């Protein structure tokens, strides 16, 4: 891939002028309101520069060549810019759904709104439908020009701040489980919705439960044909890969540089971890592996762009990244010793490797679960990548 | 050599586990965090006669103490049971904590006790917890200690102070396995229990192999202590190393098999795994424990089960 050198200089200059100084300190221990306001302000900065949605088609405000998108994400990571955490589902999953399956009217209604700050969350998983998403039980019953929805959604990250939700619900209970699901653009202000945060092991409450009690959705907010939701959801989920993984891998490379800095500072006993041969050995191994994951991501982006991505490529990238993230943050927590354990808060708006290594490590564990657990990824790699037979199911 | 616990000790451990359950079970850890107070569950320990046990007095009492620690671990009982059972008898003290330089620290907060610290060279000190700033949610009752040296006579305390907390950790791993085994059998996806997938079974068996290996070593180190063997400290360090490694594997796998719910306050596994952290990190984490053991062993190695 050629290097758009001028563009890289342009991004570097912009980052030096626009990345807010001291944002990490300001976002450490900040409340929900402070987090949301900061995310919205940073989104506007990027949008005004034309860089909030570079992967969208030009007519909707994107149109950046892939080679430049790669540079953009590399430089944002290298300059330690805040991540677009709050808008993540909006600019990736919601946009991919609207662009892939929406009507012109739906695109016109929501894509500009997303650029104006409309926040989306995802209502896919349910208590009994995690890895086996297609067994979801939330129902949507057609009544005239609207659907009436009942059920419960789980792990809807950021649902408390969301204006809209990508909702999967069963519209034909008698059809085979993949065939009776429809996809809706749910207005989160609808009556009958109850959003409850769930506190996780690191004290965050970004996960939410969403209870839907006779919630009415206008038929105009059905996306794609009725009962075709599963196929559309596959498209939505695949938007999580490619460039989003490339961004995360570049962030991890940035985090690794902080780890090197940490290791070069004397620890509580006066010795520098980096002078320990075992530490050096591990760091060198991580550097090698990190280079591999970055290359995998870049390769996936290029092959996706060229329409040459294999059926298991995205699974390989997710598996490699998530397990590397866990091992790297775990090593950082170990090497940081008690000092690292005293840092119990990480800045919001940062990546998964904020430098508060113990919190990062605990947080990293969730990475092998959502968006297809490692077990699901391995199954995809085995069956679709290697062409192995399916595991026999229990009779 | 017989590393099996005496039947009375095993029975005492089971009684303790049931008694702690009757006193609140899992709720005790949650109440301790809510109230920043580890004395919850105090009464049940009194009723069990915990503080009448003298693990230094006889093999039977040592084994009963180990079984009690394991039962406390099962419930992530917030009270520092192992530390109190290991208290030195020749000093006026309530509890013993093993510390390492620099920055001695331990899970000593949230309970008002007279602490004695012993380091890996057998130096004993009076230890006073410094007030902790962090909420219990993140501190796990860990606090830094101010140290006032007493003597160098702590070699006998050290092995006991290392071994008993490993029995607590073993109890936590027992529980994590039990919870996960039940969960994967009860949770259905793709029309069948998770436990019917071989990929799930193999992960759980890997974790069980670690847990069983730790149990064997825990019994061996206890026997080494009972028998007054010269390398009881090395055996205790080897046990600690195995305990940290086993805890890493067991919690890693049990979390993965629980899925996202395993990270939420709604599940016991999340509480258990957070409560295990101080035990796994203090006085020394994985690498430092390995380094300490290696430095002590030199080229001599461990006598082991079948040594002279």
- A168 membership: H or E segment, kind and range: strand A164-170
> Does A327 contact chain B (CB < 8 Å)?
no
Contacts of B71 (CB under 8 A, 6+ apart): B13, B14, B16, B17, B20, B171
How confident is the prediction for chain A on average, in pLDDT?
Answer: 91
Question: Candidates 3.90.1300.10, 3.30.450.40, 2.40.37.10, 2.40.110.10; correct CATH number of A119-226?
Answer: 2.40.110.10
Which sequence spans correspond to the domains of chain A? 5-98, 119-226, 232-385
Instruction: Say how far apart CA B169 and CA A253 lie, in whole Å.
Output: 35
Q: What is the pLDDT of residue B256?
A: 96
**Confidence tier at B1 by pLDDT (50, 70, 90):** low
A203, closest residue in chain B (CA to CA): B137
Boundary (domain end) residue, out of B108, B135, B153: B153
Q: What is the CA radius of gyration of chain A?
A: 22
pLDDT 10s digits, B242-260: 999 999 999 999 999 999 9
How confident is the prediction for chain B on average, in pLDDT?
Answer: 93
Question: Other C-beta atoms within 10 Å of B116: how many?
Answer: 25
**HSE (side-chain half, CA atoms, 13 Å) at B41:** 31
What does each C-alpha distance from B153 to B97, B150, B222, B237 come to in angstroms?
15, 9, 21, 18
What percent of chain B clears pLDDT 70, i.e. is strictly above it?
98
Residue B307 has pLDDT above 70, yes or no: no
Q: What is the pLDDT of residue A20?
A: 94
Structural domain count, chain B: 3
Residue at B90 is within a domain: no
B175 shares a domain with B149:
no
> Does B263 contact chain A (CB < 8 Å)?
yes
pLDDT 10s digits, A256-269: 999 999 999 998 77
Beta strand residue intervals within chain B, DSSP E: 95-99, 105-106, 115-119, 124-129, 143-151, 188-189, 192-193
Residue A373 has pLDDT above 60, yes or no: yes
Q: Which residue has the tokens 């860089």?
A: A51
Tokens coding A376: 């699901």
Q: What is the pLDDT of residue A235?
A: 73
B118 shares a domain with B36:
no
Task: Please state which of the ranges A132-146, A158-172, A206-220, A343-357 shows the lowest mean pLDDT.
Answer: A343-357
Tokens coding B100: 């390492």
Instruction: Say how far apart CA B227 and CA B232 lie, in whole Å.
Output: 9
Give A354 to chain B, closest Cα distance, Å.
17
Q: Which domain CATH number covers B207?
A: 1.20.140.10
B181 shares a domain with B78:
no
Give me the domain span that covers residue B138: 95-153
Residue A234 has pLDDT above 80, yes or no: yes
Residue at B128 is within a domain: yes
The predicted model gives B20-48 an average pLDDT of: 93
Task: Please state which of the ranges A232-246, A329-343, B162-176 shows the lowest mean pLDDT.
Answer: A232-246
Residue A299's region, left for phi above 0, alpha for psi from -120 to 50, else beta, is alpha
- Interface predicted TM-score (ipTM): 0.80
User: Of all residues in chain B, what percent are helix, strand and coil, respectively (each to 5)?
Assistant: 60, 10, 30
Residue at B135 is within a domain: yes
**Confidence tier at B299 by pLDDT (50, 70, 90):** low
Torsion sign across C-alpha atoms B265, B270, B272, B274: negative
A269, closest residue in chain B (CA to CA): B102
Q: Are B31 and B40 in contact (CB under 8 A)?
A: yes
DSSP state of A378: H
Exposure letters B209-236 (e unless 16+ CB within 10 A, then b): ebbeebbebbbbbbbbbbeebebbbbbb
Residue A139 has pLDDT above 90, yes or no: yes
B145 shares a domain with B118:
yes
> Does B105 contact chain A (CB < 8 Å)?
yes
pLDDT 10s digits, B137-169: 888 899 999 999 999 999 989 999 999 999 999
Q: Which chain B positions have a beta carbon within 8 Å of A342's beta carbon?
A: 134
Residue at B251 is within a domain: yes
Chain A residues 150-209 within an 8 A CB cutoff of chain B: 154-155, 198-201, 203, 207
B283 shares a domain with B236:
yes
B229 shares a domain with B144:
no
Exposure letters A192-214 (e unless 16+ CB within 10 A, then b): ebebeebbbbbebebbbbbebee
A135, closest residue in chain B (CA to CA): B190
Q: Are A377 and A345 in contact (CB under 8 A)?
A: no
Q: Which chain A positions have a beta carbon within 8 Å of B101's beta carbon?
A: 269
> Does A365 contact chain B (CB < 8 Å)?
yes
Residue contact B139–A269, C-beta within 8 A: no
Residue contact A268–B200, C-beta within 8 A: no
Residue A239 has pLDDT above 80, yes or no: no
Residue contact A207–B191, C-beta within 8 A: no
Which of the residues A375, A378, A380, A392 would you substitute to probe the B interface, choosing the one with the greatest number of B C-beta atoms within 10 Å? A375
Q: What is the pLDDT of residue B87?
A: 97
- A121 membership: H or E segment, kind and range: strand A120-123
pLDDT 10s digits, B163-195: 999 999 999 999 999 999 999 999 999 999 999
Tokens coding B107: 């899970």
Q: What is the pLDDT of residue A226?
A: 97
Tokens coding A382: 């085995």
> Does B133 contact chain A (CB < 8 Å)?
no
Q: List alpha helices for A23-157, DSSP H.
A: 23-27, 32-49, 66-78, 88-89, 95-101, 104-115
Give B278 to chain A, closest Cα distance, Å.
10
> Using CB atoms, which residue from A155, A370, A394 is nearest to B192?
A394
B139, closest residue in chain A (CA to CA): A342
B245 shares a domain with B199:
yes
Interchain CB contacts (distance < 8 Å): A and B: 85
> Does A277 contact chain B (CB < 8 Å)?
no
Instruction: Say how far apart CA B284 and CA B236 lie, in whole Å.
Output: 13
> Using CB atoms, which residue from B105, B255, B270 is nearest to A338?
B105
> Does A306 contact chain B (CB < 8 Å)?
no
Q: Which chain A positions have a beta carbon within 8 Å of B200's beta carbon?
A: 375
Q: Are B132 and B143 in contact (CB under 8 A)?
A: yes
Q: What is the pLDDT of residue A328?
A: 96
B163 shares a domain with B148:
no
Torsion sign across C-alpha atoms B194, B200, B202, B208: negative
pLDDT 10s digits, B187-219: 999 999 999 999 999 999 999 999 999 999 999
Task: Please state which of the ranges B104-108, B198-202, B221-225, B238-242 shows the lowest mean pLDDT.
Answer: B104-108
The correct answer on CATH 1.10.540 for the domain covering A5-98 is: yes
**Confidence tier at A395 by pLDDT (50, 70, 90):** low
**Confidence tier at B68 by pLDDT (50, 70, 90):** very high
What does residue B149 show for φ and ψ, rounded to 5 degrees?
-55, 145
Residue contact B259–A338, C-beta within 8 A: no
What percent of chain A clears pLDDT 90, i.e. is strictly above it?
72
Residue at B182 is within a domain: yes
Tokens coding B153: 């006579």
Nearest to B239, CA basis, from B114, B76, B66, B23: B66
Residue at B302 is within a domain: no
Q: What is the pLDDT of residue A124?
A: 94
Residue at B305 is within a domain: no
> Does A28 contact chain B (CB < 8 Å)?
no
> Does B137 contact chain A (CB < 8 Å)?
yes
The predicted model gives A68-76 an average pLDDT of: 93
pLDDT 10s digits, B271-291: 999 999 999 999 998 888 999
Nearest to A237, CA basis, from A72, A47, A376: A376
B293 shares a domain with B183:
yes
Q: List alpha helices for B232-285, DSSP H.
A: 232-258, 268-275, 277-281
Instruction: Say how far apart CA A83 and CA B155 lie, in whole Å.
Output: 52
Q: Are A187 and A127 in contact (CB under 8 A)?
A: no
Instruction: Say how far apart CA B194 and CA B183 lie, in whole Å.
Output: 8
Instruction: Say how far apart CA A303 and CA A238 lie, in whole Å.
Output: 14
Q: Which residue has the tokens 């006073």?
A: B128
Instruction: Check if A240 is active-site.
Output: yes
B16 shares a domain with B101:
no
Boundary (domain end) residue, out of B132, B153, B174: B153
> Using CB atoms, which residue from A341, A375, A393 is nearest to B192?
A393
Task: Indicate which residue of A25, A128, A226, A240 is catalytic.
Answer: A240
Residue B3 has pLDDT above 70, yes or no: yes
Q: What is the pLDDT of residue A386?
A: 93
Question: Candidates 3.40.50.970, 3.90.79.10, 1.20.140.10, 3.40.50.2300; correct CATH number of A232-385?
Answer: 1.20.140.10
Residue contact B265–A338, C-beta within 8 A: no
B137 shares a domain with B164:
no
DSSP state of A393: P
Give B256 to chain A, closest Cα distance, Å.
7
Burial class (CB in 10 A: 0-12, 13-18, 19+), A274: middle
Residue contact B196–A394, C-beta within 8 A: yes
More confident residue, B3 or B109: B109
Burial class (CB in 10 A: 0-12, 13-18, 19+), A167: buried
Residue at B55 is within a domain: yes
> Does B290 contact chain A (CB < 8 Å)?
no
């Amino acid at each position: 891939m050629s290097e758009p050198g001028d563009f890289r200089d342009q991004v570097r200059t912009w980052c030096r002028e626009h990345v807010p100084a001291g944002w990490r300190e300001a976002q450490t221990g900040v409340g929900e309101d402070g987090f949301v306001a900061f995310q919205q302000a940073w989104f506007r900065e990027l949008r005004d520069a034309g860089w909030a949605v570079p992967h969208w088609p030009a007519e909707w405000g994107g149109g950046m060549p892939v080679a430049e998108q790669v540079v953009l994400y590399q430089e944002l990571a290298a300059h330690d810019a805040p991540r677009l955490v709050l808008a993540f589902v909006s600019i990736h999953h919601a946009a991919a759904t609207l662009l892939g399956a929406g009507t012109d009217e739906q695109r016109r209604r929501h894509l500009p709104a997303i650029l104006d700050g409309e926040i989306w969350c995802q209502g896919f998983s349910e208590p009994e439908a995690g890895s086996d998403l297609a067994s979801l039980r939330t129902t949507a019953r057609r009544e005239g020009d609207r659907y009436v929805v009942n059920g419960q959604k789980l792990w809807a990250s950021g649902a408390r701040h969301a204006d809209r939700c990508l909702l999967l619900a069963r519209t034909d209970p008698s059809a085979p489980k993949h065939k009776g699901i429809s996809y809706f653009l749910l207005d989160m202000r609808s009556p009958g919705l109850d959003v409850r945060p769930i506190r996780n092991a690191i004290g965050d409450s970004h996960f939410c439960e969403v209870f839907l009690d006779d919630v009415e959705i206008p038929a105009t907010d059905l996306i794609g044909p009725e009962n075709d939701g599963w196929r559309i959801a596959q498209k939505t989920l695949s938007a999580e890969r490619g460039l989003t993984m490339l961004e995360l891998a570049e962030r991890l490379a940035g985090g690794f540089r902080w780890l090197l800095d940490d290791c070069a500072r004397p620890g509580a006993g006066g010795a520098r971890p980096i002078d320990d041969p075992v530490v050096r050995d591990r760091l060198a191994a991580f550097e090698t592996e990190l280079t591999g994951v970055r290359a995998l991501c870049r390769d996936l982006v290029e092959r996706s762009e060229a329409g040459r991505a294999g059926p298991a490529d995205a699974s390989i990238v997710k598996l490699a990244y998530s397990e590397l993230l866990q091992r790297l943050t775990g090593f950082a927590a170990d090497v940081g010793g008690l000092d690292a354990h005293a840092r119990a808060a990480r800045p919001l708006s940062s990546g998964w490797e904020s430098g508060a290594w113990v919190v990062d490590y605990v947080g990293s564990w969730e990475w092998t679960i959502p968006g297809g657990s490692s077990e699901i990824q391995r199954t995809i790699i085995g069956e679709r990548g290697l062409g192995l037979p399916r595991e026999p199911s229990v009779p | 050599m017989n590393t099996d616990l005496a039947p009375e000790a095993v029975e005492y451990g089971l009684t303790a586990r049931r008694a702690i359950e009757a006193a609140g079970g899992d709720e005790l850890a949650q109440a301790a965090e809510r109230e920043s107070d580890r004395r919850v569950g105090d009464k049940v320990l009194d009723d069990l006669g915990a503080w009448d046990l003298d693990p230094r007095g006889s093999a039977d009492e040592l084994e009963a103490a180990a079984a009690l620690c394991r039962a406390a671990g099962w419930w992530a009982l917030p009270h520092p049971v192992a530390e109190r059972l290991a208290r030195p008898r020749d000093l006026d003290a309530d509890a013993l904590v093993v510390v390492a330089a620099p920055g001695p620290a331990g899970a000593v907060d949230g309970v008002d006790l007279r602490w004695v610290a012993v380091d890996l060279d057998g130096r004993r000190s009076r230890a006073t917890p410094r007030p902790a700033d962090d909420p219990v949610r993140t501190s796990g009752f860990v606090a830094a200690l101010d140290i006032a040296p007493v003597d160098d006579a702590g070699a006998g305390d050290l092995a006991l102070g290392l071994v008993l907390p490993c029995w607590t950790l073993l109890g936590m791993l027992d529980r994590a396995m039990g919870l996960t085994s039940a969960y994967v059998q009860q949770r259905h996806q793709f029309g069948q229990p998770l436990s019917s997938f071989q990929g799930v079974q193999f992960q759980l068996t890997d974790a069980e192999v670690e847990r069983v290996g730790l149990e064997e070593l825990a019994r061996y180190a206890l026997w080494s202590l009972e028998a007054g063997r010269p390398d009881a400290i090395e055996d205790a360090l080897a046990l600690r190393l195995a305990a940290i490694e086993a805890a890493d594997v067991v919690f890693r796998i049990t979390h993965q098999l629980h899925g996202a719910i395993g990270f939420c306050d709604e599940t016991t596994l999340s509480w258990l795994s957070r409560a295990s952290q101080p035990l796994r990190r203090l006085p020394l984490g994985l690498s430092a424990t390995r380094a300490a053991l290696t430095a002590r062993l030199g080229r001599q190695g461990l006598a082991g089960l079948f040594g002279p």
